[in-house]
Amino acid sequence: MADYARNRMFFASSTALMLAVAAYMSFSLFWHAPIPPAWRVPLTCGLFLLSQSITAMRVVITRRPDLPFAVVRAGGFVSASFMTLSWLVLVRDALLAPLLLLSFFLPSLQPLRLRLFDALLSIPFELGMGAAALALAAIGMALALRVPPVRRVSVPVRGLAPELEGLHLVQLSDLHIGSTFGGDWLTEVVRRVNALEPDFVFITGDLADGTPERIGRHLRPLLSLRARYGVLASPGNHDYYSGLAPWVRTWRSWDLPFLLNEHLDFRVGGRLVRAAGVTDPCAVLFRSLGPNMGPPDTRRALRCTYTDEEHRAAGPADRPAPADLTILMAHRPGEAEQNAALGVDLQLSGHTHGGQFFFLFPLVSRMNRGFRSGLYRAGSMPLYVSPGTGMWGYVPMRFGSRSEISLLVLRQED
Please write the tens of the pLDDT for every residue from 154-212.
999 999 999 999 999 999 999 999 877 889 999 999 999 999 999 999 999 999 988 89
Going from the C-alpha of 89 to that of each of 28, 125, 159, 280, the distances in angstroms are 7, 11, 52, 35
Pairing of strands 374-378, 200-204: unpaired
Homologous superfamily in CATH for domain 149-412? Metallo-dependent phosphatases (3.60.21.10)
What is the residue extent of each domain of the chain? Answer: 2-143, 149-412
List of residues 6+ apart from 343 with CB closer than 8 A: 302, 326
Give residue 67's pLDDT.
73
Stated as kind and residue range, the H or E segment containing 140 is: helix 123-145
Residue 75 phi, psi (nearest 5) = -65, -40
pLDDT on residue 384: 98
Q: What is the DSSP letter of 274?
A: E
What's the pLDDT at 288? 77
Residues of the chain with pLDDT under 50: 1-4, 310-311
| Residue 374, amino acid | G
